[in-house]
Amino acid sequence: MAYDEELAERIRDLIDPGLDMTEKKMFGGLAFMISGNMAVAASGQGGLLVRVDPAQGATMIDDETVTPMTMGGREMVGWLRVTGTPIRDDTTLREWVDRGVDYARSLPAKG
């Protein structure tokens, strides 16, 4: 499954153009990187992948629209998959994108 290009465009529109943002195709999706750190991605499996503070990620999981991201059968701490209503609604999508961007900005820039 290819990533949702409409979702990718909506994400692109929500990220402040003044940030050091790049896009990179990876894992069948389109990742949005801030200073070299992945913040969010339009997933190739559908929905949005969001990077969050690992200490807070578990509190955001609702097991319906927000679930842990898994890769190779392993749960990726600090990464969440968001699907359904939260990404259809522009206000809620902005909240998730902002969470990912804010966390990525808190990390040291990658060369």
- CATH code of the domain covering residue 95: 3.90.1150
60 is a domain residue: yes
90 is a domain residue: yes
pLDDT, tens only, 10-59: 999 999 988 999 999 988 899 999 999 999 999 999 999 999 999 999 99
* 28 close to 3: Cβ distance less than 8 angstroms: yes
99: containing domain: 5-67+78-105
89 is a domain residue: yes
HEC sequence for 16-30: CCCCCEEEEEECCEE
pLDDT at 96: 97
Backbone angles phi, psi at 66, to 5 degrees: -125, 115
pLDDT at 33: 97
Q: Count the domains in the chain.
A: 1
Between 70 and 52, residue with greater pLDDT = 52
110 is a domain residue: no
